[in-house]
Amino acid sequence: MNLALTNKVVLITGANGGIGQAISLAFIQEGATLLAGYRGDVSKLDELKSMLTADQQNQVKPIHLDLGNIAQCKVAIDEAVDHFGAIDVLVNCAGTAIEKPFLLTEFDEIDKQTTANFTAPIKLTQLVLKHMMLNRKGSVINVSSVHGFRFGRGVAVYAANKSAIERFTQALALEVGRNGIRVNAVCPGMIETKMIQSLQKNMPPDILKRCPISRPGKPHEIANAVLFLASETMSSYITGTTLVVDGGISI
Ligand SMILES: NC(=O)c1ccc[n+]([C@@H]2O[C@H](COP(=O)([O-])OP(=O)(O)OC[C@H]3O[C@@H](n4cnc5c(N)ncnc54)[C@H](OP(=O)(O)O)[C@@H]3O)[C@@H](O)[C@H]2O)c1
C-alpha cells in the first residue's frame, strides 16, 4: 500500500507519549521527516530513537514544544519552516487529563488542561496553517477522545476540551478546504498508555464488557488511523470528520 508519505514533513506534539510515540514511529517507517515535539528535556525522545535504525534516526528532528509557552512554540515552528521549507502534516497529539470531581478542580487545573487539550493546539494550528496556506496543501489531524461525546464522571473539563477540539476540526475544515488543506480528528477510546493508567482507578471494573472488541486498544491502532488521514492517496476526499478508533466502546 503506497501512502505517499515519504519525505513529507510531519510535525507532532507529544512525540514521547504513548500514542505520540506510536504515531511518530509509523510516520518514520513510511519515510517521513518527523519534527518530534517534546517538552522539557530532549532525552524524552530517547525511547523513540532506541526503536530506530541509524538511517531512521536521521529522519527525526527534535523540536521543543511546550504548549504552555506558545510564544516559544512560534519561534520553533518558524525556524523549522525556514529549515524544511514546509510542514505537510500537523498532528496535535499532546494532551492531558486530570480526573477529579468538577467542584474540587482547581482553576489552575482547568487552565492546564484547557491549554494542553484545546487552546494551544488551535494556536499551533494557526501557526502551521499560515505556512500550509502558502503551499496550498496540508493535513491537520487532532487527537480527540471518546470523552468528547460519551461522558464519564470526573472528567468534565477534559470532556469539554475534547468536544471543543472536534467542533474546531469541523469548523476549520469548512474554512480551509478550498485552500487544499484537510482537517480531521482521530478519536481514541481506551488505549494502553500512561494516561489511561492514571484514569483507570475510577473506571467501572466491567468497563471492557461494554467494548465489543473486549480489550483496550494499542497505540499503533491509533497511529494507523492517523496515517490514513494524513495520506493523500488514502483520504484525499475526507475532511471535517472524526475517525473513532475505540473498539466500539462508545456504541
Ligand atoms: N490513552 C488513552 O486511552 C486516550 C484516550 C483518548 C484520547 N487520548 C488522547 O491521546 C493523546 C495522547 O495521549 P496518551 O495516552 O499517549 O498520553 P501520554 O502517554 O500521557 O502522553 C501525553 C503526551 O502529551 C504531552 N503533553 C501533555 N501536556 C503537554 C504540554 N502542556 N506541552 C507539551 N506536551 C504536553 C506529554 O508530554 P510529557 O511527557 O512532557 O508529559 C506526553 O508526551 C492525548 O491528546 C489524549 O487526550 C488518549
From 41, 195, 215, the mutation candidate for ligand 1 (largest count of ligand atoms within 8 A of CB) is: 195
Residue 208 is predicted with a pLDDT of: 81
118 vs 233: CA distance, rounded Å: 29
What's at 142, amino acid-wise?
A: N
Give, for ligand 1, the residue of 69, 90, 93, 122 to mutate: max count of ligand atoms closer than 8 Å to Cβ: 93
What does the DSSP assignment read for 64-128? Answer: E--TT-HHHHHHHHHHHHHHHS---EEEE---------GGG--HHHHHHHHIIIIIHHHHHHHHH
Q: How far is the CA of 236 from the centre of ligand 1 (A)?
A: 27
Tens-digit pLDDT profile for residues 166-178: 999 999 999 999 9
Q: What pLDDT score was predicted for residue 201?
A: 65
pLDDT band at 124 (very low <50, low <70, confident <90, very high): very high
pLDDT band at residue 209, thresholds of 50, 70 and 90? confident
Alpha carbon distance 184, 41 (integer Å)? 30
Looking at every residue in the chain, the average pLDDT score rounds to 95
Pairwise CA distance, residues 139 & 89, whole Å:
5
Question: What confidence score (pLDDT) does residue 196 get?
Answer: 78
The span from the CA of 85 to the CA of 132, in Å, is 10
Span 125-160, pLDDT tens digits = 999 999 999 999 999 999 999 998 887 889 999 999
**Where are the chain's structural domains?**
9-245
Query: Is a pLDDT exceeding 70 seen at residue 202?
Result: no
pLDDT digits (tens, 9 = 90+) for 69-117: 999 999 999 999 999 999 999 999 999 999 999 999 999 999 999 999 9
Residue 95 C-beta-side C-alpha neighbours within 13 Å: 27
pLDDT, one tens digit per residue, over 7-52 is 999 999 999 999 999 999 999 999 999 999 999 999 999 999 999 9
- Distance of CA 94 from the midpoint of ligand 1 (Å): 4
In CATH, 9-245 is 2.60.40.420: no
Which one, of 191, 190, 153, 174, lies nearest residue 239 by Cα?
A: 174
Mean pLDDT of 112-123: 98
pLDDT of 200 above 70: no
Higher pLDDT, 131 or 199: 131
| Spatial CB neighbours of 104, under 8 Å, sequence gap ≥ 6 | none
Please give the pLDDT value at position 186: 98
Backbone angle region of 4, left / alpha / beta, with phi > 0 → left and psi within -120 to 50 → alpha: left
